[in-house]
Amino acid sequence: MTTARVHRLANGLTIAVEPMDGVETLAVGVYADVGSRSEAAGQGGLAHLVEHMVFKGAGARDARAIAEDIEDVGGSLNAWTARDHTVYHARLLAGDLALGVDMIADLVRAPKFDPDELEREKKVVLSELGEANDTPDDIVFDHLQSACYPGQAIGVPVLGDERTLATLTAGDLRRWTEVQYRPGSLVLAAAGKVDEDALLALAEARFGDMPAGVAPTAVAAAFGGGTHHDRRRFDQIHVAAAWPGTGHHDADLHALSLFSSAAGGGMSSRLFQQLREERGLAYSIYSWTQAYAETGLFGLYCAAEQPRAAEALALARVVLAQTADDLSEAELARAQAQAKAGWLMGLESVAARCDRLARDLQVHGRIVPVPETVAAIDAVTVAQARAAGAKAIGGAEALATVGGTLSAGSGKVAA
């Protein structure tokens, strides 16, 4: 059995490592505890644009060299931006740890941010934004986030929009990395066939001279609730609704997640069985949860034909209320089994192990032992799951649609 260990450099950078038996590869990444919710007003899309631009040139490498150097050894280099974190991540064979750390360090610490490259890359991001806008089952969740957190940075789409992207400059990007990518808010994590001593030496060499400091604390978010209707016509209406959920440290975190799984987490769930299997109201129907540091969401998504969308949403609300009233022991046990199996199966991947190390440290300040998480899932009772669900759907509702408009309360549809 492997054991994860944590180290810290003098400047505050955290290093987490988990050697794994029986593998020949490794995953290594730098995880920044900042994302799009840390953007200033009018700078929507900045964090994501930074993530794009670092691949256009960093350190001594231009964009072509970045691509060739990692692929020459059969590896991959990737990055992603979320509302509350940003990740620079590599998958490699075991002998290429030094290359992975070197390249990631350049991306984080030495991006070039060439102004001409920036203008070209904006066009790429605008194309990505256009693709998202043309995908109704994708963009509806951005609309929902805006409805849940109106006027707040956490409600702004990660990609930003055409107006905000046009105003961003290379100086804005450079200031962002200088202010937000501070060692006290970064985790360098690695899992797989990784030499711990080598990782520590590489961390000191590439990150040890960073001036100490942490990123500014993001403004606390508060669920507002509202509506956002995108009236463009599609064959179906895509509907997403959400209610106040649980934050990372809420005592009901697992209870609400298990309620969501029983209500709409799979083919055996109530929403799937009643709306799709029994009545044929929707092809896609599910519920979900999203936790942030101080807030969270419990949500519902369905896609239905225009004439039946209102009926589908109305019935979905009824099903959620019934589940909160009479969730059974068997349904909870099934949800617990699904939660544990999905999580534990995922941890057999070196990339998932690497992600877990960093996110546990950023969210909880420690690496949570696997048995502790399993025990917390098993400890949830039917009464707790019911109560968590009832509390969520008893709160204010936010509603977003693409393809038509729906009343947040009545379920009536308007063209």
- Given this model, what pLDDT does residue 413 score? 41
Count CB atoms within 10 A of the CB of residue 319: 22
- Given this model, what pLDDT does residue 224 score? 93
Measured over the CA atoms of residue 347, residue 353, residue 357 and residue 363, the dihedral's sign is negative
Rounded distance, CA 304 to CA 283, Å? 7
Q: Are 28 and 190 in contact (CB under 8 A)?
A: yes
Residues 237-272 pLDDT 10s: 999 999 999 999 999 999 999 999 999 999 999 999
Rounded distance, CA 28 to CA 190, Å? 4
Rounded distance, CA 300 to CA 312, Å? 11
Residues 197-240 pLDDT 10s: 999 999 999 999 999 999 999 999 999 999 999 988 888 899 99
- Given this model, what pLDDT does residue 232 score? 87
Q: What six digits make up the tokens of 324? A: 């909160």
- Given this model, what pLDDT does residue 1 score? 44
- Given this model, what pLDDT does residue 235 score? 82
Rounded distance, CA 270 to CA 347, Å? 28
pTM over 0.85: yes
Q: Rounded to 5 degrees, what are φ and ψ at 72?
A: -60, -30
E strand map for 245-283:
none
Kindly report the average pLDDT of the chain as a whole number: 95
Rg value, the chain, Cα = 22
- Given this model, what pLDDT does residue 24 score? 97
- Given this model, what pLDDT does residue 408 score? 45
- Given this model, what pLDDT does residue 234 score? 83
Q: Are 352 and 293 in contact (CB under 8 A)?
A: no
Q: So which residues are the catalytic ones?
A: 51
Q: Which residues contact 106 (CB under 8 A, 6 or more apart)?
A: 58, 59, 60, 61
Q: Are 200 and 96 in contact (CB under 8 A)?
A: no
Residues 349-405 pLDDT 10s: 999 999 999 999 999 999 999 999 999 999 999 999 999 999 999 999 999 999 977
Residues 271-322 pLDDT 10s: 999 999 999 999 999 999 999 999 999 999 999 998 889 999 999 999 999 9
- Given this model, what pLDDT does residue 231 score? 87
